[in-house]
Chain A
Amino acid sequence: MLYNEGRAHLPNGCAISGIIDTSGGLFSGSDIIESIALMHERSNGLGGGFAAYGIYPDHPDEYAIHVFYDDLKAQENVEAFLEKHFLIMLSERIPTRKNANIVRSPIIWRYFAQPLRNRVAVSGYDEEEYVARCVIHVNNDFDGAFVFSSGINMGAFKGVGYPEDIGEFYMLDNYHGYSWTAHGRFPTNTPGWWGGAHPFTLLDFSIVHNGEISSYDANRRYIEMYDYHCSLMTDTEVMTYLADMILRRHALPIHMLPKIFAAPMWEEIARMDDKSREEYETLRAVYAGALINGPFSIILGFNGGFMALNDRLKLRSMVTAKAGSKVYVASEESAIRRIEKNLDEIWTPRGGEPVIALVDENADIGRRRRVL
């Protein structure tokens, strides 16, 4: 039987790519499309997507909420909910371009919205938690609607198709961001649902992921203890929630995340000096439920930077490079060389070794997440 995401845990293979200009300079989506297009063979046309940061400078304090609707009824219901909880500054269809390979697209809408202050106040949550709760609520409890992006000054664009067609469809060449990630999907069993494509996002966190995590259900049942609900049953969803909880709710610095997701072996920890040993031990013990096993290479995007990470055994390919102020990550080296011939440095990070690229403190890129 063929289940939609949300009914069954589906295995995936994939390609990922990411580019960031650490000087905060903006560049169009053309490069990332070209990079991910080179890895065409790693996808099978059942999903492609992008996350772009710095693309909405005209809406510096408004959450850009991107939604897929199956029909107008769903849109009506969700809009009624959004209007009750947000001040909607702009509501529009996300512009798309006709593409012969992209068919049966849902209604794709975006809202630039500010949470209603009084409602945030009575909710008992801070603003971001309030927005996150609203997003999770819509995704769990509204039929035929799926919020696929909800950050400030960033946006996800995804759908069923090869990633280069998806990029073309969303006209990403018209957007300018300082950081881009992309994903081409090779699911082994999916009816092809737009919401199931990557990246998965919550607030400004986005994850593109190549791999299949064997620890999925351990991670899912762990994160669901803390008021998250995994409605899609995809690896990216659970990893995004884990990252959100650890970085936002628990306010741990970004460099601790790989010590949790791809914790060093106990043997290695035992060899550390006393202070590090205690730190690593505590992180591993407390966040045992967030240890991710099985092959993965991910790029976790957020306002102000991204982190690329492999599983600790390095069961998926991932290459990193630098050229000037730009940092590149991709499943294959060729996908980087395709768009930048003159690299200063290119290397293959070891399993569990993060590559963290942050935009310079002084660059004016609008909203920035504190991750240090």
Chain B
Amino acid sequence: MSISFQMPRYEVLRREDRCVKCRVCERQCANLVHRYDADLDKMIADEMQCVNCQRCVVMCPTRAIAIRRYPLEYRENANWTERAIVEIQRQAEGGGVLLSGMGSPDDKPVYWDHMMLNASQVTNPSIDPLREPMETSVMLGCKPDSVTLGADGSVKTKLPPQVRLSMPVMFSAMSFGSISLNAQKSMAIAAKKLGITFNTGEGGLHRDLEEYKDAAVVQVASGRFGVHTDYLSAGCMIEIKIGQGAKPGIGGHLPGRKVNADVSVTRMIPEGTDAISPAPHHDIYSIEDLRQLIFSLKEATEYKKPVCVKIAAVHNVAAIASGIVRAGADVIAIDGFRGGTGAAPTRFRDNVGIPVELALAAVDSRLRKEGIRQRVSLICCGSIRNSADIVKAVAIGADACYIASSALIAMGCHMCGTCFTGKCNWGIATQDERLTRRLNPEIASERLVNLLSAWNHEIMEMLGGMGLNSIEALRGNRLMLRGIGLNQKELDVLGIAHAGE
């Protein structure tokens, strides 16, 4: 067997003058990086194990620790980058598919950053949300094209089932299994407090979360884990997961070591077994099959719940979305390639799918062209980083946005991208009780409420600046956007003018 060429990715810098050998870092690190050497009477580090999750850095009481990139000075080469070389070394050694966690770190265009928002000057007044009402609440679901009146002149039309949100944001799908119950519970508490929703993912609804079920979107994915009639009726919306932005075209794999007793009960699978979600739903090989599933779910829930279909943003997304509307979906979630994940093959994550900004614009335009935009609400997801991203998404045409990575970061995630190891030191992407108890749902939910309250304020301020007082007057209002540094084709797809035009 050859020697390993792999070198540490990170270097642990420890200031000996500050280290008091309290061994907090040792206890905090599930990757077993830090160790106290009694002979040397000092803390030493096994840097090969470090994933740069920053847990020890944050927890060190004397600020003695810093983590930095390991100074691997390969010969400069713009093509054969360090990453390209290291990945080959890893595959040559292990012979496996490269796995990654969280969204793609690649330097591909982030269109949000190439769009600027408008503001009122002179000809119409900007509106101060501290003095005037400012509405950010939305209703998701199918809307009829018109209302009809009864004989007495009152409105006869009954709205199909809707989900009401106090602001255009929802927590995106992260299953119990892929994340800890405490992490899910934090989002459930926050969602209920905020008047928005969290999403069970495909892992079923844990019994401890039943008190938050009104704020739950329950997911039905290809593995059908945890799906039963009560589950379907529990939430405020049902989501059929067809695809995920981080890994379009493939399924999911929850390793058996994460399937403990609790996960096993919730998912309705034996303890310790791998939970494999197939790439396609094996009862959906075409659009008419999707229609059958949508209506099976509607039948099962007596047409009281809107049904959402989540798809990854792929090349033909506009036509696919049109088909999904005609198949009877009430909501469509479009997940862009930068979207996060607990685990995805690296090559998929970084090379499959398209940016969500372009997908969203294409879908919204297409549905309007076909006159069916009213029949469906659109959720934009896949790396929504701040309130400005949301405002821009709504201006392009979204009804609401899903956030996941942002929510995890609010709870403690430091984006180390190794969720699939099950050793999340922040207690999020793990089932190890020693780690999960580090995440206190009361505290974490407060952080989530803080984050989204702040975003809601910012959304209101930006709306007011544009002279709007209601989020629906922003939806699809692309005149509020101008592109910077975009070529004509990009502007055309986004349906916006360039700055200065």
Binding site for B on A (CB under 8 A): 9, 11-13, 188, 211-218, 221-222, 224-226, 249-253, 265-267, 275, 278-279, 281-283, 285-289, 291-295, 312-313, 315
- Asked if B478 is an interface residue, CB under 8 A from chain A, the answer is yes
In the assembled complex, B61 has its CB within 8 A of some CB on chain A: no
User: Closest 9 CB pairs between A and B?
Assistant: A293-B473, A215-B473, A214-B467, A11-B123, A217-B479, A218-B477, A288-B472, A212-B124, A250-B146
Q: B468–A214 contact, CB under 8 A?
A: yes
Measured CA separation A312–B125 after assembly (Å): 14
Q: Contact at B132–A313, with CB atoms within 8 Å?
A: yes
Q: Which of B229-237, B274-282, B317-325, B367-375 contacts A (4 or more CB under 8 A)?
A: B367-375
Contact between chains at A253 and B153 (CB < 8 Å): yes
Q: Are B147 and A282 in touch, CB under 8 angstroms?
A: yes
What CA separation (Å) do A9 and B118 show in the bound complex? Answer: 13
Question: Could you tell me the distance in whole angstroms from the C-beta of A115 to the nearest C-beta in chain B?
Answer: 24
In the complex, what distance in Å separates the CA atom of A11 from the CA atom of B139? 31
Mask: chain B, 134-173; 1 = CB below 8 Å from A; 0 = not: 0101010001111101000111011100100000000000
B472 partner, pick from A213, A267, A289, beta carbons under 8 A: A289
Asked, given contacts A214-B473, A295-B125, whether A282 binds B468 with beta carbons under 8 Å apart, the answer is no
Contact A12 B477 (CB under 8 A): no
Q: Could you jot down 16 A-B contacts, CB within 8 Å?
A: A12-B123, A188-B122, A213-B124, A214-B124, A215-B474, A215-B477, A218-B472, A218-B477, A221-B368, A221-B476, A225-B371, A225-B373, A282-B147, A283-B147, A294-B467, A295-B467
Taking A215-B468, A294-B468 as known contacts, 6 extra A-B pairs with beta carbons closer than 8 A to each other, sorted by chain A number, are A214-B120, A221-B476, A225-B373, A286-B374, A294-B124, A295-B125
Chain B residues close to A by CB (< 8 Å): 120, 122-125, 127, 132-133, 135, 137, 139, 143-147, 149, 153-155, 157-159, 162, 368, 371, 373-374, 466-470, 472-480
Give the distance in Å from the alpha carbon of A278 to the alpha carbon of B150 in the complex.
14
B154-A217 in contact (CB<8A): no
Q: Determine the chain B residues whose CB is within 8 A of the CB of A222 once the complex forms.
A: 476
From the candidates B159, B373, B466, name the one contacting A285 in the complex (CB within 8 A). Answer: B159
Shortest Cβ distance from B114 into chain A, in angstroms? 19
| A226 and B147 form a contact (CB under 8 A) | no
- Residues on B with C-beta less than 8 A from A225 are 368, 371, 373-374
| B133 contacts A212, C-beta separation under 8 Å | no
**Chain B residue at minimal CB-CB distance from A253:** B153
| Residues of the B chain whose Cβ atoms lie less than 8 Å from the Cβ of A292 | 473
Contact A291 B473 (CB under 8 A): yes
Q: Tell me the bound Cα distance from A291 to B139 in angstroms.
A: 14
| Contact partner, A250, options B147, B469, B470, Cβ 8 Å | B147
Name the residue on B nearest A251 (C-beta): B149
A275 and B154 in contact, given A218-B472, A266-B137 (Cβ under 8 angstroms): yes
Enumerate chain B residues within 8 angstroms of A286, measured Cβ to Cβ.
Answer: 143-147, 157, 159, 374
Given contacts A221-B478, A265-B133, contact A295 B124 (CB under 8 A): yes
Is the contact region of chain B dominated by helix, strand, or loop, or is it mixed?
loop
Measured between beta carbons, the chain B residues less than 8 angstroms from A218 are 472-477
Set of chain A residues within 8 Å of B132, measured between Cβ atoms? 313
Q: How many angstroms between the C-alpha atoms of A217 and B149 in the bound complex?
A: 29
- A291 cross-chain contacts in B, Cβ below 8 A: 470, 472-473
Q: What's the nearest-Cβ distance from chain B to residue A16, in Å?
A: 16
Q: Is the CB of B124 within 8 A of A315?
A: yes
- Taking a contact as CB atoms closer than 8 A, the residue among B122, B153, B158, B477 that contacts A216 in the complex is B477
B162 touching A285 by the CB < 8 A rule? yes
In the assembled complex, how far is the CB of residue B468 from the closest CB belonging to chain A, in whole angstroms? 5
Q: Is A282 touching B157 in the complex (CB atoms < 8 A)?
A: yes
User: What is the distance, in angstroms, from B306's C-beta to the closest C-beta of chain A?
Assistant: 12
Known: A282-B155, A291-B473. Is A252-B127 also a contact (CB below 8 A)? no
In angstroms, Cα B155 to Cα A283, docked, is: 8
In the complex, A76 Cα to B144 Cα: how many Å?
A: 43
Contacts of B144 in A (CB 8 A): 286
CA distance A315 to B480 in the complex (A): 20
Shortest CB-to-CB span from B486 to chain A, Å, is 18
Q: Which residues of chain B are within 8 angstroms of A295 by Cβ–Cβ distance?
A: 124-125, 467
- Decide: A217 and B480 in contact? CB cutoff 8 A: yes
Whole-angstrom distance between the Cβ of B234 and the nearest chain A Cβ: 24
On whether the beta carbons of A211 and B124 are closer than 8 Å, the reply is yes
Which of A222, A253, A285, A286 has the largest count of B CB atoms less than 10 A from its CB?
A285
B159 touches A217 (CB 8 A): no
Contact indicator B368/A288 (Cβ below 8 Å):
no
Task: Tell me the nearest residue of chain A to B497, going by C-beta.
Answer: A8
How close is A181's CB to chain B, nearest CB, in angstroms? 22
Question: Known contacts A221-B478, A293-B473, A315-B124: does B135 contact A266 (CB below 8 Å)?
Answer: yes
Q: Which of B123, B143, B472 meets A212, CB within 8 Å?
A: B123
Q: How far is the CB of B143 from chain A (nearest CB, A)?
A: 5
Q: State in angstroms the CA–CA spacing of A295 and B137 once bound together.
A: 21
Q: How far is the CB of B387 from chain A (nearest CB, A)?
A: 19
**Bound state CA distance, A285 and B159, in angstroms?**
8
- Per a CB cutoff under 8 Å, which of B146, B155, B477 touches A217? B477
Chain A: minimal CB distance from B135 (Å): 6
